[in-house]
Amino acid sequence: MALYLYFSGAKLLGTPSAQAPNSWGELLEWQLKHSGIKGEVSRSFDIAFGDDLERGRVLPVHYPLTYKKLKSFNFDTNSEFLYAMELLPKLAK
């Protein structure tokens, strides 16, 4: 979802996703007949940023929630929301 928002021009805030934009996908599940061992194998590789390997590894966040910023909100569990509320007036200009 964040990737689609990024491509739509949205400003991302918070912590980068653990899911890389360039990544394996479409899992094919298998199970061995006699032992019952199960596994999965990818059958595709999605490339969102073919021209930029670093962006393909970690989706860039325009406004990262750094330790310093998190500390400024006293480590509140709603820090991302508070950060967004802080940024909205600046971004609305």
Q: How does pLDDT run across 27-85, given as a tens digit for each residue?
A: 999 999 999 999 999 999 999 999 998 999 999 899 999 999 999 999 999 999 999 99
Q: Give the confidence band of 17 by pLDDT, cuts at 50, 70, 90.
A: confident
Q: Which residues lie closer than 8 Å to 37 by C-beta, 6 or more apart?
A: 31
Q: How does pLDDT run across 1-14, given as a tens digit for each residue?
A: 888 999 999 999 99
8/64 Cα distance (integer angstroms): 19
Whether the CB-CB separation of 56 and 20 falls below 8 Å is answered with yes
Instruction: Please state, in angstroms and as integers, the Cα–Cα distance from residue 12 to each residue in 8, 29, 35, 37, following that order.
Output: 11, 33, 46, 41
Q: Give the confidence band of 19 by pLDDT, cuts at 50, 70, 90.
A: confident
